[in-house]
Amino acid sequence: MILIVGCSSSVKTVYELPVEFRFPDKRTELLKIFSPYFKGKKFFLDPGHGRKDRNNIGYMGNAIEADVNLNVALALKMFIIEAGGTVEMSREKDTTVELKDRSAIANKSGADFFISIHHNAPNEKNDTWTNYTSTYYHAKDSDNEFEPCQRDLAKYIQRDLAYAMRNSGGPGSFDGTYSDYNIYPREGFSVLRLTKIPAVLVECGFTTNEYESERLVVDEFNRVEAWGIFRGVCRYLANGIPEIRFIKTIANYSNNNLNISFGIKDSAGIDMNSIKVFIDSVFFKSFNFNPKDKILSIDYPAANYGGHIIRIIAANIKGNYAFPFYYNIFVENKMDR
Ligand SMILES: [Zn+2]
């Protein structure tokens, strides 16, 4: 079903409703499949801009980004709650929230995920033709701040959001997912850098595009956008997120090492080749993973006195990475007996 919502002199506003909007049974079916994955999950939604910051007004002043962001975020909130998750937002009205406050509130919220919702504008002022959907994660592979789980979430959201909107991904990457370093090298977006929970930022479409601006102001289309993000989150969660936990430290007097063990749990199974261990940000290769009992053992020289930070990265066989995992150890100047 193609809806023709309104016509301006030159552009027809066209979008397609997701099948779950057209057939209530399909919607019930989808919620039944994915609801178990939302249990106990909290989402922090951040509609970009607002109040004092209403600079991106879109094509002919028609689609004000701050308002469109809020509309999409509020619709997404409803879908997540319907699925059984919980939601906190940086703003639920047209209010001013400073960028650093958005991250600070999110970090205190106890949320599992942070999704910042934006709509794009081109660099060139008179560009009324550029339009695509893109999703950002913080930092790049080679960088210490890079958390692969953020790229996982971005990939799933990007694919379903772009599909729901029938937009292509941005031209600079295979599917429209990007590191925020592509925009601000070695810095990224401050809202992603300062947010310590897994975070992504979506740029759903361009408010400045003549055709896109027409549909971005239609409530139903904002719900279609939100549905796209929601579907992406559903499929991301269904593919599982490995859990890492500390088990114990044992002193090994024969080789003067500390044996530190961690459990890595995932219902799909762990991809052994994905496991990486860093100690104080340096790649550490003296570890062993036993796929049978799912225990990772690290042999750490007991002579390295003082405080250290162990970081573990691991993915399941479906390619989803664990949440950021850091564990502090303190090696005393004498091995405990
Ligand atoms: Zn924005």
| Segment 237-292, tens digit of pLDDT | 999 999 999 999 999 888 899 999 999 999 999 999 999 999 999 999 999 999 99
Distance 55 CA to ligand 1 centre (A): 9
For ligand 1, the distance from its centroid to the CA atom of residue 49, given in whole angstroms, is: 6
Q: How far apart are CA 204 and CA 175, in angstroms?
A: 13
**267 C-alpha to center of ligand 1: Å?**
37
Angle made by CA atoms 36, 295, 280, in degrees to the nearest 5: 100
pLDDT of residue 333: 77
DSSP category for residue 60: G
Residue range 167-191: average pLDDT? 95
Determine the average pLDDT of the residues in 296-321. 95
At residue 105, the pLDDT reads: 98
Separation of CA 231 and ligand 1 centre (Å): 22
Distance of CA 86 from the midpoint of ligand 1 (Å): 24
Higher pLDDT, 45 or 337: 45
How far, in Å, are 7, 129, 246 from residue 13 at the CA level? 6, 15, 54
- 247/262 Cα distance (integer angstroms): 5
User: Measured between alpha carbons, how far is 1 from 3 in angstroms, rounded to an integer?
Assistant: 6
Please state, in angstroms and rounded to a whole number, the distance separating the CA atoms of residues 20 and 32. 13
Contacts of 122 (CB under 8 A, 6+ apart): 130, 206, 208
Residue 23 structure tokens: 């057939």
Q: Is the pLDDT of residue 64 over 70?
A: yes
**Cα of 195 from ligand 1 centre, angstroms:** 17
**Residue 255, pLDDT score:** 87
Residues paired with 177 in a beta bridge = 135
Distance 59 CA to ligand 1 centre (A): 15
pLDDT tens profile 209-233 = 999 999 999 999 999 999 999 999 9
Ligand 1 centroid distance, CA of 323 (Å): 26
Distance CA(145)–CA(239), nearest Å, equals 24
Indicate the pLDDT class of residue 2, thresholds 50, 70 and 90: low
Maximum distance among all Cα pairs of the chain, rounded to whole angstroms? 83
Per-residue pLDDT at 149 exceeds 80: yes
Torsion-angle region of 103 (φ positive above 0: left; ψ -120 to 50: alpha; else: beta): alpha
Residue 317 binned pLDDT confidence (cut-offs 50, 70, 90): very high
**At 329, phi and psi to the nearest 5?**
-120, 155
Q: 136 near 157, Cβ under 8 Å? A: no
Distance 38 CA to ligand 1 centre (A): 27
266: CA distance to ligand 1 center in Å?
36
- pLDDT reported for residue 311: 97
Q: Is the pTM of this model over 0.85?
A: yes
Between the CA of 157 and the centroid of ligand 1 the distance, in Å, is 17
Q: Which two tokens stand for residue 66?
A: 């701050």
